[in-house]
Structure 1
Amino acid sequence: MSQYGTLILIMAVAVLAPLLAYGVGRWLPVPLVIFEILLGIVVGPDVLGWAAGGETIDALSDLGLAMLIFLAGYEIEFDKVRGDTLKRAVWAWVISMAFGLLLACALAGWSYAKGVYIGTALVSTALGTILPVLRDSGDLHSRFGSVMMAFGSVGEFGPIIAMALLLSGRSPVESAALLAAFAVIIAGAVYWAMRPRPLWFARVIAKTLHSSGQFAVRLVVLLLAVMLGASTALGVDMLLGAFAAGMVVRLVLHGAAPESAHEVVEKVEAMGFGFLVPIFFVVTGIEFDLDALLSGGRALIMLPVFLALFLLVRGGPVYALAPGDLGVRDRRALTVFSSTALPLVVAITTIGVGDGVLDTEEAAALVGAGMVSVLVFPLTGLKLRAGKGERAMPKGPTKGAESW
């Protein structure tokens, strides 16, 4: 099939997935990403053989991943992610990283190269999957939601930094120097973003918001392109550039045009979730090695092992360092929510397979465990929260299920 034919098939899958999510969501709120990946597997080479990757499709998939991480960076509310809670979140992630690297190296036969990829994949948190679920359940702006924001933000940002330091193929000193250079660029961008904007800036945003000009949307895309270009030029992982772009855009929009910020982001989300992000997840399914997972060998055994390690490596330190004002149920819910992982797991395993460090069986087991975590852990966390007598699980598909 040609690249254009494959793109048509991918978009057909992207249209079918929310219909399935809506139908199933009347009984069980399943995140949309699960249907996108599963349908990608079905049309991929291991089942029907209708679709395969290619240069154009892979480029669109990379843009989808960048948009996904960009929107996750935008979600961070700086006024809520600070103080003692942030310190606890950072320490929990640092302990998780050290613990994860040790266990992963042992699991990989003391291969440091392979252990780094597996260990980094074990300590990520799918913040973009969790926040919409908490928003729909009424918990996002509660004390629990603020704590989850802090732990989830570190769980999203920490692995991206670790990828830039440990998975770049450079020496630690060189990687640290390049990260420092990129940090200077981010600091400059943040300084520019926080400067007062002239009055005409907000007026242009408002005037073009419903016209063909779309100044604000074009500015957002430009800032994303600049940060991606800067990260690529410095040899830093593009995900770091995308994440930083999301944070900078939030500062610009909420500082210069707070009354228009929400509507601008809705337009960007429509572009991302309506086109680019679904391509990333469907292509993930298309390129998923189902044969390696279902061959009855090591991969199938490793999937539940990796799922348990998500809870042990990432969730254990989170439970231990959760703020003392959270009750037992909240600490348990925080643990399972923080152990939810998929987008960064997909990115890390893709890099690992491409570098020839991870084999397809290990990658399939990690991604499979990530898919199960997205399906099971948020639902478990919601039940724990509902068990406190707070708002029960949302009926039908959540916004998170529609977006992530």
Structure 2
Amino acid sequence: MFSQLTVLVLAGLAGPLLAFTGQGLVPVVIGELAAGVVLGHTGIGAVDPASQPLPAFKAIGFAMLMLTAGTHVDISSPAIRKGFLRGLGALAVVAVTALPAGVLVDRAIGLGHPALLAVLIAGSSAAVAFPIISERGLRGDHVAVLIAWVALADASTVVVMPLTLSASGNVAEALGGDAAIVAAGALVLLLALRTQPTTISHRLRDQSLTKGWAWQLRISLVLLLGLSAMAERTGASTLVAGFLAGMVIVRLHESDRLSMQILGLGNGFFVPLFFVLLGAELDLRALFASPSRIALAFALAAAAVLAHVIAAAVMTRTRRVATGLAASAQLGMPAAAASLGLSTHLLAPADAAALVAAGCLTLIPATAGSLLLARGQ
């Protein structure tokens, strides 16, 4: 087991190294996926993602990925509140555009999942967009709209996307599970807000800080694993559980120390492991052997970019094209769809590879959009 994990962690280093040599223009996950592709089914076959205990590590990595994505969505943030109405309007325009686009692409390619394609076209990635906004110091009314838009899109697609990969008879069960998870998360948040100011809570935090107990990290992991266990039992998705756990944690406005601990545990081990294993699971040979699936990747990426640019043109007053391009970034959701589709056997290997490829392609115009926004500051 440890030899396998050593290889996978070493492979995960390809992400930061590629991002470093690319001067920040290449997202870390691209290198991690590429390393997995080389080690897995497409490449030399050194890693079998189905061999135990790797599926368990991948499942935890998926939950941690959604947790870190959720921590980027603070619904009480002034930036989100400032651009909420226009961001909501932009999301509505994207949704209206994405529905016919998803149906059109599905009919042209023959995937058989028009609802899934529509959701992916409408999606955005807070985990990709927000760090770019922060690193480049972007500001202005159009950026406030962008932040609210991406946050709302991320939260919405997290709930809807798993339903598109549920059998028709399981949709009601999945919706019930999602409702139970949201109710549990709301209850935890309410209890946490009530106990935060207490003397015992302050003493626990102080002693944890001085004695290295990592108390808040442990509680955060209990929340993540507990909600994920609920998802497992109720037929809901770990995607919703992880994202909601992240939203609860960020809403509590805990210390930067906790954020660094979560990032260290997630981005230092479990999340890279997930992307390397996902890359190992993808079959790019099947993708390259299927012209229709190559066309799917390009059509899906182009539809997503076009839908977001149209929405930005309607709902923003300035920097319309650049804002739309920046909002079109998405990789976590296509990766999640590919992982769910492969695990449930609802997507063929070439289909899953096409979805991930489409997500990677959207990063090119999104990076260009962020550069245009930064240039206009």
1:60 is matched with: 57
Structure 1 residues 181 and 217: CA distance shift in structure 2, 3 A: closer
Q: Secondary structure at the match of 2:43?
A: coil
Aligned length: 370
Structure 1 residues 210 and 309: CA distance shift in structure 2, 3 A: farther
Higher mean alpha-carbon deviation, 263-272 vs 152-161, is at: 152-161
1:162 is matched with: 160
Of the two structures, which has the highest relative contact order with CA contacts closer than 8 Å and spacing of 6 or more? 1
Tell me how far apart the structure 2 counterparts of residues 110 and 38 of structure 1 sit (CA, whole Å).
25
Tell me how far apart the structure 1 counterparts of residues 296 and 87 of structure 2 sit (CA, whole Å).
33
Aligned 8 A contact 1:101 1:116 in 2: yes
Tell me how far apart the structure 1 counterparts of residues 284 and 221 of structure 2 sit (CA, whole Å).
35
Aligned 8 A contact 1:39 1:282 in 2: yes
Give the unaligned 5+ runs of structure 2.
none
2:286 is matched with: 292
2:228 is matched with: 228
Tell me how far apart the structure 1 counterparts of residues 211 and 310 of structure 2 sit (CA, whole Å).
49
Q: Which digits, 9 at most, give the CA deviation of each residue in 1:368-390, with x for residues without a partner?
A: 1211222x1332112221342x2
2:128 is matched with: 129
The equivalent position to 1:42 in structure 2, one of 38, 62, 73, is 38
Q: TM-score, normalised by structure 1?
A: 0.84
Aligned 8 A contact 2:163 2:174 in 1: yes
Aligned 8 A contact 1:73 1:245 in 2: yes
Note the C-alpha offset of 1:163.
Answer: 2.7
Aligned 8 A contact 2:105 2:300 in 1: no
The equivalent position to 1:336 in structure 2, one of 304, 322, 325, is 325
Aligned 8 A contact 2:297 2:358 in 1: yes
User: Over aligned residue pairs, what C-alpha RMSD do you find?
Assistant: 2.4
2:89 is matched with: 88
Aligned 8 A contact 1:124 1:339 in 2: yes
The equivalent position to 1:269 in structure 2, one of 243, 249, 263, is 263
Does 1:283 find its partner at 2:277? yes
User: Percent identity over the alignment?
Assistant: 24
1:358 is matched with: 347
Aligned 8 A contact 1:332 1:384 in 2: no
Aligned 8 A contact 1:288 1:364 in 2: yes
Tell me how far apart the structure 2 counterparts of residues 231 and 208 of structure 1 sit (CA, whole Å).
30
> Residue 348 of structure 1 aligns to which amino acid in structure 2?
A
1:322 is matched with: 315
Tell me how far apart the structure 2 counterparts of residues 178 and 138 of structure 1 sit (CA, whole Å).
39
Q: Which digits, 9 at most, give the CA deviation of each residue in 1:176-221, with x for residues without a partner?
A: 4443333332332232233252023133223312533111111111
1:7 is matched with: 5
> Residue 183 of structure 1 aligns to which amino acid in structure 2?
V
Structure 1 residues 295 and 109: CA distance shift in structure 2, 3 A: closer
Give the unaligned 5+ runs of structure 1.
391-404
Tell me how far apart the structure 2 counterparts of residues 89 and 181 of structure 1 sit (CA, whole Å).
29
Does 1:378 find its partner at 2:372? no
Tell me how far apart the structure 1 counterparts of residues 260 and 111 of structure 2 sit (CA, whole Å).
46
1:194 is matched with: 193
Matches within 5 A, 1:172-183: 172-183=171-182
Note the C-alpha offset of 1:93.
Answer: 4.7
Structure 1 residues 160 and 386: CA distance shift in structure 2, 3 A: closer
Aligned 8 A contact 1:209 1:264 in 2: no
1:30 is matched with: 26
Q: Which digits, 9 at most, give the CA deviation of each residue in 1:289-314, with x for residues without a partner?
A: 1101222632233322222122134x
